[in-house]
């Protein structure tokens, strides 16, 4: 059961820092997803409610994907382009949520100047940086689930209004894939029930925040699926998104979201892998596994910038997309060949 008792000492440190703060910064790693956006907006509400004297700034290195424009308070999210003044300001407390400061781009130097640097996450992996306060709970399905528990502690006592619940719910459904992934717990379902009772439009949050695709993203999906191939006796499915497809379709990074799930839900496969050519010589991969293979271990073994969970992982390779495919698919074939022999 998730509760905030284990974070009492961190919250006791955070309280005086926020009580005396004039300016607070909230940020998250680039390429923000539903959990990241929901977390930043929910945390802003938590701070504004309990510490109304504080000026809160949400600043991200990259502009938010258009799909999140419907969320309450989303207009408060700034980028260095829309809020250049941030570089000249000093912040008393800076938060980074749902990932480490190493991926915060241009916001990193501003974060590092803050007196108190706070890290709130549900992944253990990115906690190495010497933050002043770390609140990490790998048992939380999503970062917004962790924030919800913090929000209901005596340190915040955030009112559960519809807007706040929408923000928490988006992170919850995004990271659990609508309560399908193995990080879903009875507690996350109970939390969803509690949120739904406030009467917010959960259909809209699910459809606009998760399922809707732009027309060009639909084309990108269809093109990528039509290129899919099977290897390892049909146990591995893979496809790739070359840079020229992104350019041809006029697609944004966010348009790639969810394509891997279509590959993964193909009958008979055990592992799905999608290669994204970010630029010539730089390739990102996403991996999904039904459980027989630990794809996070594979990603970590193949690149220093690899990691994730047993069933969902990713990695970054300083290699061409063709060489990355050769390496990763070769390893997958070897793995399933060996697994086949031992059966
Ligand atoms: Mn998350």
What pLDDT digit, counting tens, does each position of 205-247 carry? 999 999 998 888 899 999 999 999 999 999 999 999 999 998 8
pLDDT of residue 267: 96
pTM (predicted TM-score): 0.86
Q: How far is the CA of 120 from the centre of ligand 1 (A)?
A: 10
Q: How far is the CA of 139 from the centre of ligand 1 (A)?
A: 12
Tokens of 134: 């770390």
Q: How far is residue 313's CA from residue 308's CA, in Å, rounded to a whole number? A: 4
pLDDT of residue 123: 85
Among 61-70, 230-239, 324-333, which is the least confidently predicted range?
61-70
Q: Map out the domains of the chain with their CATH numbers.
A: 5-210 (3.90.1640.10), 215-342 (3.10.310.30)
Contact by Cβ (8 Å): 68, 74? yes
Q: How far is the CA of 38 from the centre of ligand 1 (A)?
A: 10
Q: How far is the CA of 144 from the centre of ligand 1 (A)?
A: 8
Angle value at C-alpha 99, between 131 and 244, nearest 5 degrees: 140
Q: How far is the CA of 202 from the centre of ligand 1 (A)?
A: 19
The mean predicted confidence, pLDDT, of the chain is 94
Tokens of 342: 């031992």
Q: Give the mean model confidence (pLDDT) for residues 13-22.
A: 98
pLDDT of residue 182: 86
Q: How far is the CA of 143 from the centre of ligand 1 (A)?
A: 5
Q: How far is the CA of 36 from the centre of ligand 1 (A)?
A: 6
Q: How far is the CA of 45 from the centre of ligand 1 (A)?
A: 18
pLDDT at 127 over 80: no
Q: Give the mean model confidence (pLDDT) for residues 150-160.
A: 97
pLDDT at 171 over 70: yes
Q: pLDDT band at residue 343, thresholds of 50, 70 and 90?
A: low
Q: How far is the CA of 35 from the centre of ligand 1 (A)?
A: 5
Q: Give the mean model confidence (pLDDT) for residues 77-100.
A: 96
């Amino acid at each position: 059961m998730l509760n905030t008792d284990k974070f009492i000492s961190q919250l006791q440190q955070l309280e005086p820092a926020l009580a005396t703060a004039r300016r607070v910064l909230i940020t998250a790693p680039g390429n923000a997803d539903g959990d990241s956006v929901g977390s930043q907006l929910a945390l802003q509400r938590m701070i504004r409610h309990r510490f109304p004297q504080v000026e809160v700034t949400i600043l991200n290195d990259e502009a938010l994907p258009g799909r999140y424009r419907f969320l309450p308070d989303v207009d408060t999210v700034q980028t260095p382009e829309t809020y250049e003044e941030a570089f000249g300001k000093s912040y008393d407390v800076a938060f980074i949520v749902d990932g480490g400061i190493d991926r915060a781009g241009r916001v990193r130097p501003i974060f590092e100047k803050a007196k108190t640097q706070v890290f709130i996450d549900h992944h253990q992996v990115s906690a190495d940086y010497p933050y002043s306060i770390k609140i990490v709970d790998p048992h939380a399905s999503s970062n917004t689930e962790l924030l919800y528990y913090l929000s209901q502690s005596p340190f915040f006592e955030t009112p559960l209004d519809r807007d706040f619940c929408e923000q928490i719910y988006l992170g919850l459904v995004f990271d659990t894939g609508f309560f399908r992934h193995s990080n879903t717990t009875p507690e996350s379902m109970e939390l969803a029930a509690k949120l739904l009772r406030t009467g917010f439009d959960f259909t809209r949050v699910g459809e606009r925040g998760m399922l809707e695709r732009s027309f060009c993203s639909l084309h990108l999906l269809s093109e990528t699926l039509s290129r899919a191939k099977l290897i390892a006796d049909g146990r591995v499915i893979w496809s790739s998104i070359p840079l020229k497809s992104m350019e041809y379709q006029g697609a944004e990074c966010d348009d790639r979201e969810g394509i891997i799930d279509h590959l993964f839900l193909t009958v008979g496969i055990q592992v799905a892998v999608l290669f994204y050519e970010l630029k010539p010589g730089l390739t990102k991969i996403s991996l999904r596994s039904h459980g027989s293979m630990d794809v996070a271990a594979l990603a970590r073994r193949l690149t220093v910038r690899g990691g994730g969970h047993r069933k969902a992982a990713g990695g970054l390779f300083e290699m061409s997309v063709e060489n990355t495919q050769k390496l990763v698919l070769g390893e997958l074939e070897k793995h399933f060949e060996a697994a086949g022999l031992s059966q």
